[in-house]
Every structure is written in structure tokens, then in C-alpha cells.
Amino acid sequence: MAISETERLKAWVRAGGRCEFCGRYLLEGKLTYKDFTLGELAHIVGRDVAPKSPRGMDPLPKPQRDLADNLMLLCRGEHNEIDRKGSLNIMTVERLRSIKRDREEWIRRMTALSPQNGTVVIRLIGRVRGAEVELTKPTAAEAVIRSEARFPEFPLSLHGDGFEIDLRNVLGEETAGPAYWEQCRQQIDQVIELRLADALREDSVQHVSAFGFARLPLLVYFGSRLNDTFAVTTYQRHRSTEAWNWPDAQGPGRPFVTETHGSVSRDAEEGVLILNVSGSIQAEELPDELAELPRWVIRPQGIVPAVDVIDSRATLDEFVNAIRQLLSDLEAQHKGIQRLHVLAAAPLSAAVELGRVHESHVHPTLAIYDRTDGRYTSVLEVS
């Protein structure tokens, strides 16, 4: 029995007209660019119930074998390869069904997105004490689609990669001397101030998805350069899943509390902000010159700070609210505070959001500290 036109059409549409392995577009020739139907429909469970039919001895009833659920749209070479004897123990029914399901689910999500729901992806990629993580264009795109049902756009570079600020080749990350921080700051400014400014003038950016992996002071500085003329969603890599997307389940966020230590005199000009979110910084770890300053500590309420405390966008929002409230209180009650020394044990997204919340014409200058060789040193300012 031949595959019906209805089932054939279903298979082509579900695959988006592309090979379900390599993604090649199968309705156009690569040499002449003329319209051709180049794909082939491959059976997952072979059409015949026979040992020589690839995967044909599976118990799937014969009437279901020519349905779209059992068909994959493939390039000719890949169709031939999965049916070869040497591939059958690798390209099993279960593996092929999984590939088909994931690919067609992704196409269904992508084609449901409206271009009006686009977001421009910005990736800040650095090293943290010599280590780096995967933060590729496909990784960022998948996180955006899964988390927000937005259409990830990468239009703002010659190769369509969007904004990529690559700090991995800046020398001196492990020792983190003054020259390292200055070079990184200049690279961030170059991309944000020049390329993003051009895009804003062209009115081509309404929403930004920000991804960052670098040392914490650089993430804060990066966030400070993303102003409030467009909406921003900040992402982070979750240790528990090793994924960048925010989880689907969005319950209430975990609250944060702010503790005040020491009295704030009327003529006080400096203070200390400690963020104990992913870990705890103790008072005795402060540099000597900060020990006598008034101190504010923000931490999660009711639990011990831990790596994945910020495990949802709702909890990130709660953290942002705590930062906003503290800065508002300082503005209202302690206008003399001109500088906050910031020591943070915080995840990626919290660092970026700290920079974004800061308003340079209203709030105190933030002196961001980095921990190197067991000591905290001020390395960057957000002012």
C-alpha cells in the first residue's frame, strides 16, 4: 500500500520542508536554486513485517506503518544510511522516534511565534578562573523559545550572530589585574555603545535577551550598560540542569530580606552592600578599610544561600525588588551615601540585574569587588 497524499503532506509540513537530521531545505536545489522536491519519506518501522525490512520486526501494526507518525523527512543519503545493516543497532526505532519528536516539536514552536514577539540576543562570553561554558547561538535561541515563546533574532552582525561580546581572548583573567578589567570594560562599551546605539537609532530593538558568563564584576558592568529604553530578559545557566532556559513552572518567587548592620551617621558618605545569594560572605572577610562602614546584607529569606537559589524568573524578580527597595531607602533616608562597596556571592542573572537596576543620576556609585587570592579588591565602578 502506498503512502497516501494526506499522510505525505502531514509528514512534510511537520518537518517544515527540511531534513529532520541535518536541517537542509528540501524544496530547492543547492546548485540551480530551482524548485525541486528533494526529500524522501523514510519509515521508522519498516513497511514490511520481515527480517530484511529495516526495523520491520517491531510490533507496530502494519496499517500504521504508512502514517505520518511513522515517517521522517530525510535527505536521500541519510535515508539510505539509517536503513543500512551497520546502522540498525544505532538508528533504532526508539532513537528515530525521539529525533522526530524533538525536531517536529521545535518546528511547531518556532512557526507559532509572531515576528512581533522578536528579541535580540546579546551574549557576553568570558572565563571564570580559566573555566568557560557553552553559550552558543543555538543554546541561546533554544533558551529564549522555551522560556518566553519569543522569536530569537540575530540580525545585528555580518554573520547574523547578534551581539557577541567575547572576552575569552583577553589576557590576564586568572590573575585579574587592572589591565584585564580595563580591556574587558572597553570591549563591553564598544559593542553596547556603538552597535546597540546604531540599532536603537534605527528603532530595530524593542526587546533584548541577555546572556552572560564572566567574572561577577563584568556581569554587573554589562547590566549597567543595558538601559531602560528597551525591555530586557536576563538568563542564567542553572547548575542543577546545566541549561540556560528558565523552567516552565512559575510559582511564587522566593522572597529576600535586607539586614542593616552598624549605625548610619548623618555625614556618612560610604557604605557596604553584601549579596549573600549563592553563598555567604562573612563580616570578617571584609577588607580592613570597609570594616567600620555601615553595612547592608541581602539574603534569601528562611533558607541558607545556595547556588541555585534563583531558580525561576519570579525569584529573580524578588531579588530585583529587594535591590530597588534598598536603593530607594538610601535615596530617601541617607542622601549623603555617595558610594556603595559591593561584595557579592550571587548567580549570573543577579549580577546582571544589579547593574541594570542602578541609575547613575540617582543612586550611589557602585564599587564592585572581586575575590582573588582569598582577598576582596575593588576592580570596577558603576557610576
pLDDT tens track for 87-108: 999 999 999 999 999 899 888 8
DSSP E strand boundaries for the chain: 40-43, 71-74, 118-125, 151-153, 163-166, 207-213, 231-234, 256-261, 270-276, 295-300, 339-345, 365-372, 375-382
Once rounded to an integer, what is the mean pLDDT over residues 119-126?
90
**Contact (CB, 8 A) for 247 and 287:** no
pLDDT-derived band at 197 (thresholds 50, 70, 90) equals low
Once rounded to an integer, what is the mean pLDDT over residues 120-145?
89
The 3-state DSSP class for residue 100 equals: helix
Domain boundaries, the chain: 5-112, 115-234, 256-382
Q: What are the tens digits of pLDDT across the range 296-343? A: 999 999 999 999 999 999 999 999 999 999 999 999 999 999 999 999
Instruction: Give domain 115-234's CATH number out of 3.30.300, 1.10.3470, 3.30.1490, 3.40.50.
Output: 3.40.50
pLDDT-derived band at 113 (thresholds 50, 70, 90) equals low
pLDDT in the model for residue 48: 93
Q: Is 22 left (phi over 0), alpha (psi -120 to 50) or beta?
A: alpha
CA distance 271 to 157: 42
CA distance 99 to 107: 12
CA distance 117 to 192: 22
pLDDT exceeds 70 at position 67: yes
150-164, 165-179, 213-227, 365-379, range with the lowest pLDDT: 150-164
**Contact (CB, 8 A) for 298 and 322:** yes
pLDDT in the model for residue 275: 98
pLDDT in the model for residue 178: 95
pLDDT exceeds 60 at position 160: no
Q: What are the tens digits of pLDDT across the range 11-37? A: 999 999 999 998 899 998 888 878 888
Instruction: Provide DSSP, 127-192.
Output: -BTTB-----HHHHHHHHHHHH--EEE--SSTTS--EEEE-TTSTTTTTT-HHHHHHHHHHHHIII
- Residue 20, Cβ neighbours under 10 Å: how many? 25
48-57, 224-233, 298-307, 325-334, range with the lowest pLDDT: 224-233
pLDDT in the model for residue 105: 87
